[in-house]
Amino acid sequence: MRHFSMISLSALMIASATPAFASETAPASATAADTTTTVVDDTAAATQDAAPAAEPAPAASPFSVTASATLVSDYRFRGFSQTGENGAIQGTINLNHESGFYVGTWGSSVGFAGHTEVDLYGGYTKTFGKVTLDAGLLYYLYPKKGNADTDFFEPYVNVSTTVGPVTAKVGVNYAWGGQAALGDNSAVYLHGDISTAIPSTPFGLNAHIGWAKSDAFPGGIDGKVLDYSFGATAAYKSLTLGVSYVNTDETNSTFGGLIPGGYKNFIGADGAVVFSLTAAMPAAGSDTDAPSSIKITGGATLVSDYRFRGYTQNNENAAIQGTIVLTHDSGFYVGTWASSIGFAGNTEVDLYGGYSKTFNGITLDGGLLYYLYPKHGNADTDFFEPYVNVSTTLGPVTAKVGANYAWGGQAALGDASSIYLHGELNAGIPKTPFGLNAHIGYAKSDSFMGGVTGDVIDYSVGATVAWKALTFGVSYVNTNETNFLNAKEALGADGAAIFSISAAF
């Protein structure tokens, strides 16, 4: 019998760039079927006959940016749960060149290492007739403190073709031995995928099968494992709702059947129905729908540390974040914002709804926010928090003040209520892609929201630079939390420089 150490058991949960319940393919490239591009039309409105001739439009850029954000009920990598069968936030940002070269990143919350997986990749794609070849190199990165060996490289090659509404793809991924996460073992993964849109409907169908062979974690308990899935999707504007059934042929009788529920269930390789909600950047020229009263916006962000009111939420490790918002032209809106975190179910999902209205240059915004931490078990971490904001813009400067209040009696807060007052300034530097921002906040509560002493001030200053749909940011964040018994540093409330890259659509 093959020896299977506890280190190998934990290593089984290491993840990849493949979206939850999707195929193990290379990350989306410039010509992949699910890759999208936004093109902004800068053409001015028609002028009168007497007006001077318009200047020639700037040359089209050879680069395009694509992005998406996804909420998924369980992140499955090659059939194995990476989140303890809890929900996950996922996001992707790609930079494509018209030559076929591309680079990008895909990230997800996970239940191990630094609680965030960040996959970095680059490659080249080319279509010959009806056949598309795509090859590249993928790097699985788990940003974290400490020296746990979890990162590794994996080259990939994919071949795909489309006939009518049907797209078929086959591919192979290979990770060589000698890398720290794999030891002396190499790993190979073969996979095939098929998807089809149902003509004249918003619905689609998909199926996947994959086979992994390795004495490291991708090979399961006996060195090889088969995973498979089939599912359906429904699209509305830039949103896609998905449902899929995922399973593996991993054994359930390991260790003499002594594990309650069986080994397969214990490691999250059992059959499961997985749900997802994705917002993707619309493809160029795809916005042909009639004008609608509903607008969908979204974004994906990779940040070096998620700070909530000055306090780290992921042990000063990196985080993946995403947002999806539906806005009605009446001013009503609903949305969700999510991030990987280092506690509860490893994912925070904020659900909110409200109403915004502008009066004589002043915008009033009020709503209700619900902090949700999807997870197994009954830990009391969720709570509601109403909010009110007032903002105005003068030239390039936008100023905002607001208040959030969480009443006592909620399970996460006990009998203590919480109030948070905050102010923000944002300014674009005219005729440049640069911006500046500043924030100050004050929290008062006898719950965890008030820090050690019951009240705490947090503040930040930062700068941004924008290019196409991308925004690069850096900020300095700090609090006045007490440092008695090293509390400020232990809580992750000390000063830190935070870096981020965001794609909005």
Predicted TM-score (pTM) of this structure: 0.85
Q: Quick check: 112 pLDDT over 60?
A: yes
Looking at the predicted structure, is the pLDDT value of residue 264 above 50? yes
User: Rg of the chain over CA atoms, in angstroms?
Assistant: 24
Residue 255: how many CA atoms within 13 Å on its side-chain side?
13
Per-residue confidence (pLDDT) for residue 2, from 0 to 100: 31
What is the rounded average pLDDT for all residues in the chain?
A: 86
Higher pLDDT, 284 or 233: 233
Sign, CA torsion 254/260/262/267: negative
Q: Which residues have a Cβ under 8 Å from the Cβ of 317 and sit 6 or more positions away?
A: 114, 115, 116, 143, 144, 145, 305, 342
What pLDDT score does 484 carry?
A: 79
Interior angle at CA 477, CA 471 and CA 479, nearest 5: 155
Residue 95 pLDDT class (50, 70, 90 cuts): very high
For 124-149, what is the mean pLDDT? 90
Long-range contacts (CB closer than 8 Å, 24 or more residues apart) made by 434-441: 434/463, 434/464, 434/465, 434/466, 435/463, 435/464, 435/465, 435/466, 436/461, 436/462, 436/463, 436/464, 437/461, 437/462, 437/463, 437/464, 437/475, 438/462, 441/309, 441/310
pLDDT at 53 over 70: no
How far apart (Å, rounded) are the C-alpha atoms in residues 241 and 100? 29
Task: With beta carbons less than 8 A apart as the criterion, state whether 138 and 152 touch.
Answer: no
Q: What local confidence, expressed as pLDDT, does residue 25 receive?
A: 36
Token pair, residue 395, equals: 């030239």
pLDDT at 147 over 70: no
Average pLDDT over residues 22-34: 37
Q: Is 486 helix (H, G, I), strand (E, B) or coil?
A: helix
The pLDDT of residue 219 is above 50: yes
Predicted confidence (pLDDT) at residue 39 exceeds the cutoff of 90 = no
Pick from 68-72, 75-79, 373-377, 426-430: least confident: 373-377
Residue 334: is its pLDDT beyond 70?
yes
Distance CA(373)–CA(340), nearest Å, equals 10
For residue 11, the surrounding DSSP H or E stretch is helix 6-11
All domains of the chain, ordered by start, with CATH? 6-43+59-280 (2.40.160.40), 294-504 (2.40.160.40)
Q: Tell me what pLDDT residue 173 has.
A: 98
Nearest to 225 by CA among 275, 190, 176: 190
pLDDT band with cut points at 50, 70 and 90 for residue 146: low
Model confidence at 157, pLDDT cuts 50, 70, 90, reads: very high
Q: Are 71 and 349 in contact (CB under 8 A)?
A: yes
What pLDDT, on a 0 to 100 scale, did the predictor assign at position 286? 54
Decide: 121 and 87 in contact? Cβ < 8 Å.
no
Q: Which residues pair with 121 in a beta bridge?
A: 104, 138
Task: For residue range 459-483, list pLDDT tens digits in order.
Answer: 999 999 999 999 999 999 999 998 8
| pLDDT band at residue 114 under the 50/70/90 scheme | confident
pLDDT at 201: 98
pLDDT of residue 378: 56
- pLDDT, position 418: 96
pLDDT digits over 401-417, tens only? 999 999 999 988 989 99
Q: So what's the pLDDT on residue 374?
A: 86
% of the chain residues with pLDDT over 90: 69
pLDDT for the residue 45: 34
Neighbours of 308 (CB within 10 A): 15
pLDDT attached to residue 287: 54
How far apart (Å, rounded) are the C-alpha atoms in residues 216 and 224? 10
Please name the amino acid found at residue 136. G
Residue 285 confidence (pLDDT) above 60: no
Per-residue pLDDT, 293: 94
Q: What is the pLDDT of residue 23?
A: 37
Give the mean pLDDT of 192-206: 98
Reduced to 3 DSSP states, what percent helix, strand and coil does the chain have, rounded to the nearest 5?
5, 55, 40
